[in-house]
A = this chain, B = another copy of it.
Amino acid sequence: MDFLSYPQPLADLIAGLSRLPGIGPKTAGRLAFYLLQQPQVAENLAETIIKAQREIKQCSLCCNYTDQDPCPICEGEKRDRSLLCIVEQPRDVVSLEKTREFKGRYHVLHGVISPLEGIGPEQLTISKLLTRLEEVKEVVMAVNPTVEGEATAMYLAKLLKPLGIRVTRIAHGLPVGGDLEYADEITIARALEGRRQI
């Protein structure tokens, strides 16, 4: 018997927690002991994980996470069906909704094209996107301004433009409250490029 290690179920719990992103073995150990000391928190956590896994699906239209299909945004009657915003991840939808500015619908790609990671267009929800363009007049690309994001936006633009759809990109520039002094060169270059008459 090796006294240096934790009992198996505890070791397994620490291993399970260490598989979460950003959680190393030390933090996992701390969390595991916390869970053993707080049985209610542990029970609640296990339940919510199982329930979320069972009940959260991808919307059959926009591929956002939802517990009803189609999701409330796709079903929303006040939503502008001619406007479609393409985002990388479900959390981006929440960020955009918080602004209360966008009245169209969304399409969640669940990633970006990244040949290095073996992610091509067929791993994303692009084929589903192509089936829901009937009423769409404008597609707003709200993917992140990374190399992969830009490549994905270009790829989609090439697919969509021949269909007579207007393809736009959200603006990049200085964040509101940001300071020129602390902005990186690429952001400043983009801000200059995107300048508008006042």
Chain A: residues with CB nearer than 8 A to chain B? Answer: 1, 3-10, 12-13, 15-17, 19-22, 27, 29-37, 39, 41-56, 65-68, 71-73, 76, 89-91, 94, 97-98, 110
Contacts and interface: CB of A to CB of B under 8 A. Distances in A.
B16 A56 contact: no
Contact of A36 (B35, B47, B65): B65
Q: How many copies does the complex hold?
A: 2
A50 B56 contact: no
B51 A12 contact: yes
Contacts of A55: 7, 9
Secondary structure class of chain A's binding surface, majority of residues:
helix
A169 to B, nearest CB: 23
A36 B21 contact: no
A56 B91 contact: no
Given A4-B97, A39-B53, A50-B46, A20 B31 contact: yes
